[in-house]
Structures are given as C-alpha cells and as structure tokens.
Amino acid sequence: MKTVLSISGINKTYQSGFAALKDISLDIHTGEIFALLGQNGAGKTTLINIICGIVKASSGVVKVFGKDNVHEYREARSEVGLVPQELSTDSFETVWNTVTFSRGLFGKPKNPAYIEQILKQLSLWEKRNNKIMTLSGGMKRRVMIAKALSHEPKILFLDEPTAGVDVSLRKDMWELVRGLQKTGVTIILTTHYIEEAEEMADRIGVIRQGKLILVEPKVELMQQLGKKQLTLQLHQPISQLPQSLLLDGVSLSGDGLLITYTYDSQSKNIGIAKILEILASENITFKDLHTSQSSLEDIFVSLVNEKELTV
Ligand SMILES: Nc1ncnc2c1ncn2[C@@H]1O[C@H](COP(=O)(O)OP(=O)(O)OP(=O)(O)O)[C@@H](O)[C@H]1O
C-alpha cells in the first residue's frame, strides 16, 4: 500500500506550556478514508493544523508525497485541501468567485471546467451565482469543501464535517465523501460521532490527551467491538470451574456465583448451547442468565477514559 502522508514523532507544546501532542506517528495510505476519533481537546485539530502547515510542530516530521511540509512547504501544501471546523467564507461573494479565488491562492491556472465539475458534484451548481450569505448552513459547508478542492488536492482533511448538521444532511455528506474517495482523493476526517467513523472509515485512529492510542482497520476494530458476553447467575456458589469449562473466555467470579462467557461473534467459539449442556451434566444450576454486547461507543469511551495509557 502506498503512503501518501507520513507523520513521524510529532510533538506540540503550545506557548502556554501545554503539551497538546505527544510523539504522534502515523502513515496514511492512498485512497483510504481515515477517521481520527477523540474527545474535545484531544488534539485532533492541532494535528491537522500541523499537517496543513497552519500550526508549527515543536518537533517531528510530516511528509506529503515525500515532501517535507516545512522545508518543501509549497509542494507539500499544494497536495492538501482542508475543510476547517469553523465556517469561514466571505459572505458577500458569490459561490463561483469564492471557489475560483481559492484556486488562485494556490497559484493554479484558471480552470472553469474543473470548478464547474466540483460545484456540480457538490450540488452547488444552481447556486453558483448566489452570495454565500444567502445559502443554508449545509450549503455553506459544501462551499467550504468546494474551496478545499479548488486546487485539486490529492488529500482532503475534513475537521468535524458534520458537527451540528442534521441527520439527513449528515448522510448526504457521507455520500459526498464516498464519492470523493471514488475519484481517488484520500480523506482524513475528525469526528466525535462514532457512527460516522463506523459508517465511513477504512481505518480508525483514536487520540487521547495528545497521544495516538490506537490505529486499526475498522473491520478489525468492529470485530473487537463485536464481543458479546453471557452471564449466568448460579443458585449455589462453586469453588472452581469444572474441568470441561476451563475454556477460553469462560471465567468464574470471586464469590463463585457468576459464570461469564465472553465471545466474539465472528470467531469460532464453543457456543452458548454447549456451555449450558456442560453445566447441566455437572449438575450446576443457575437462576438467571443474560447476554450483553459491547458497542463501538463502549470501547471508545473506555479507551478514552482509561487513566493510564497501557497501549
Ligand atoms: N493556541 C493554543 N494555545 C494553547 N493551547 C491550545 C491552543 N490551541 C489548542 N490548545 C489546546 O490543545 C488541546 C488540543 O486542542 P485541539 O483543538 O487540537 O483539540 P480537538 O481534539 O480538535 O478538540 P475538539 O474536538 O474540541 O475540536 C486543547 O487542550 C486546547 O485547549
């Protein structure tokens, strides 16, 4: 897999002395959608701003298509588009002028056919002559995307693309991002919404208190998250599990009253029916049984709340 963006050993300590990023290293692959998850203040925007050259790292190296984003700033920056969290456009300008002007800022020659193409792709063509102030919030967000795409970047950063956006617009946005991916753009987005990462991402990174604590392909993460648990509350405590139940995922509580069986739906496991059969054959009776399933949300919350970093 080709690496389009390589981040190594990035640290950022703000002037206030606050260490916002701690030794971040990450490679982004061609054509993937990478979701960076983290709570408020985790460091997501700081990282994106460093990559895009808006904030200076205290140490570390960022390379965009092999170009150092400090020493070869122009080349590196020309490959990157950024849709910032805050909507900032000149309200009195038209959509067309705003997007065209943005392209000019990167020193790219005029290309009306390309601008037309992205405005159509973003369903903004009908509004091309409208002043930005006359557009709805969702349309303004699309204008921000059009601006970010105006100089034909190969990597697009979307910082909280759907913050404060209603459900239907969020779905439209997802469609749009998938469409961009099909045109060969690599996409990195930050989000608070777990479902957004679940829906969109090929890989997920979790950032907590300035540290990148996990990077996983979504499918693998979902398998971890797909864990289920069966809990059996016994009538009588037992001192230890019978030999036939000494299996992976089966455990007994300290008071000998609860047997739990944790399994993941994808992998082979001996099955609930089998466990119940063994219990019956061992004359172990239970008065209650319940199953539970951890969600992506559970895992994420437990990851970001852990006091000490163990990963
Ligand atoms: N210019 C600055 N000076 C000092 N501290 C800053 C500065 N900018 C950001 N920070 C701090 O760095 C930390 C990371 O902020 P950042 O904006 O990167 O977080 P985030 O993960 O994007 O959060 P959110 O989801 O709320 O946007 C926060 O504690 C923030 O207060």
**Best residue among 12, 13, 14 to mutate for probing ligand 1, ranked by most atoms within 8 Å of CB:** 14
Q: What are phi and psi of 176, to 5 degrees?
A: -60, -45
Residue with CA nearest ligand 1 atom 6: 14
Distance 49 CA to ligand 1 centre (A): 11
As a dihedral over the C-alpha atoms of residue 143, residue 145, residue 150, residue 155, rounded to 10 degrees, the angle is: 180
> What separation in Å is there between the alpha carbon of 63 and the centre of ligand 1?
23
Q: What is the pLDDT of residue 199?
A: 85
Determine if ligand 1 sits within 6 Å of the CB of residue 43: yes
Helix, strand, coil content of the chain in percent (nearest 5):
35, 30, 35
- Domain 227-293 sits in CATH 3.30.70: yes
Give the per-residue pLDDT at 307: 43
Give residue 308's pLDDT: 42
How far, in Å, from the CA of 267 to the mean position of ligand 1?
Answer: 40
- β-strand pairing of 203-208 with 211-217: antiparallel
CATH fold for domain 1-79+154-217: Rossmann fold (3.40.50)
Classify strands 19-29 and 3-13 as parallel, antiparallel or unpaired: antiparallel
Point out the residues of the chain with pLDDT beneath 50.
307-311
Alpha-carbon separation of residue 1 from 5, 32, 265 (angstroms): 12, 10, 29
Residue from 24, 40, 157, 196 whose mutation best tests the ligand 1 pocket (most atoms within 8 A of CB): 40
Between the alpha carbon of residue 115 and those of residues 79, 88, 134, 138, the distances in Å are: 17, 19, 20, 19
Q: Residues in the chain, how many?
A: 311
Q: Give the per-residue pLDDT at 166.
A: 74
pLDDT of amino acid 46: 95
- In whole angstroms, what is the distance from residue 164 CA to residue 87 CA? 12
Residue ranges covered by each domain of the chain: 1-79+154-217, 92-151, 227-293
What ipTM is given for this predicted complex? 0.96
Q: Is 128:95 a contact under the CB 8 Å cutoff?
A: yes
**Which of the listed residues 16, 46, 86, 190 should we mutate to test ligand 1's pocket, taking the one with most ligand atoms within 8 A of CB?**
46
